Amino acid sequence: MIRTFYSALLVITSPLFLYSLYKKKEGKPAVGKRWKEHFGFTPPLKDPKPPLWFHAVSVGEVLASTPFIKQLKKQHPTLNIVLTTTTSTGAEQAAKLGSLVEHRYMPLDFSFAVKKFIKVIKPQQLIIMETELWPNTLALAAQHNIPITIINARLSERSFLRYQKIQWIFNLLSKNISLLLCQTQEDADRFMQLGIKTQTIHITGSIKFDINISDNIIKQGDELRKKIGTARPVWIAASTHQGEDEQILHAHKQLLMSMPNALLIIVPRHPERFKGVLQLAIQQGFNSISRRSQSPILSTVEVYLADTMGEMLTLISASDVCFMAGSLIGNKVGGHNVLEPAALSKPILTGPSYYNFKEITEKLIAVKACSICLNKNDIALKLQLLLQNSPLQKNQGKMALQVVADNRGSIQGSIQHLFKFI
């Protein structure tokens, strides 16, 4: 009865979801003729062996799952993996895994679509990254005796309170979960308060700590830094959102007053905002602005707009200090992954709203590898302190990398749990 009500609600709300999914935006790849996959019309796999069905909703989840999939395939090369994403940007990122996986679009949570998908793909296990949980998908997977494992599971206090208000929906989800591999004890406690059975839950840590920086990334970062100038102070504002760019640019204006050769690399989170951020920088009166996609980086450039995709690690590698955005606009976003700069030995700044990465950020704050900036003036002050003190930079970067090293191992622990069902 509850699932019937949920399904009716899904039918009513799906037009808005589909509009958002298929709406054309600059820099966003089109789903194209593959839209049918969202409704369960999915092509058969090249390898007929029952695969592990790995779901990662969009770009961030695909990036987080990439080292997991690589290690899994390295240890068990004959495993067949189908990777589903909901978004086209996630599909684009999944394509970079090449022959390690076959990509399909995730069927929408209509029973008929999920049934079609399962019939064609015949998965032996469903592995979901973090907490992308859909009632009909979980129920139908369970009906087909497909074990369901949630890896890297997290549940913030905010999400926990939301689920409490719709406990009836969470009950639909929880009864079908075979294994819940949580990042922290706090996550596990919240899931248990919502009714997940204790024997289902294990704490494996965050797989984000198992980040692997390739030699190629380091090489590309070194090459870019040579083009920028090795003697210049360089900072990056990573994954900025609307409402943050003005504050970032203002902080850089202040910094230029004391360090006139400083460079800001600004990386908008969404490609459709590239032009808007460029216009904002022009309006704020910077003397020289360069675009990563078009212009060479000269010594006179004050603002370098990163209007390309998939280069974040290279850009962070070429910088001295990283400000992680998504953290300056109240509770709208909740921060982004601070482990990328940490793994590159960079001192980190972030705004006061980082609830999506609370445990990770607080580990870095505890060893003084990360500092909280309350506003644009605070960003400028902390930047100046770091950029004028090379030993302090290096020490904070060293401590950040040590936090990453001390918390590795989640992937291997998670893989061992998965093989209970393979």
* Dihedral sign, Cα of residue 191, residue 197, residue 203, residue 206: negative
For residues 196 and 199, give the distance between their C-alpha atoms in angstroms, rounded to a whole number.
Answer: 9
In the three-class reduction of DSSP (H, G, I as helix; E, B as strand; rest coil), residue 370 is classed as strand
Distance of CA 77 to the CA centre of its chain: 26
Catalytic site includes residue 362: no
Closest CA to 65 of 73, 342, 78, 44: 73
Give 215's contacts (C-beta < 8 A, 6+ positions apart).
none
> What is the DSSP secondary structure assignment for residue 28, as one 8-state letter?
P
| CA 59 distance to own-chain centroid | 6
Q: For the chain, percent helix, then strand, then coil, each to nearest 5?
A: 50, 15, 35
Whole-angstrom Cα Rg for the chain: 22
Question: Of 97, 90, 102, whose CA–CA distance to 42 is shortest?
Answer: 102
420 and 414 Cβ atoms separated by less than 8 Å: no
Q: Phi, psi at residue 143, to the nearest 5°?
A: -60, -30
* Burial letters 282-295, b for 16+ CB under 10 A, else e: eeeebeebbbbeee
Residues ≥6 apart with Cβ < 8 Å to 413: 181, 204, 205
Sequence-ordered strand ranges (E) for 173-241 = 179-182, 201-203, 234-240
**Active-site option among 37, 61, 102, 302:** 61
Q: How far apart are CA 346 and CA 336, in angstroms?
A: 15
Q: List, by residue number, the catalytic residues.
A: 61
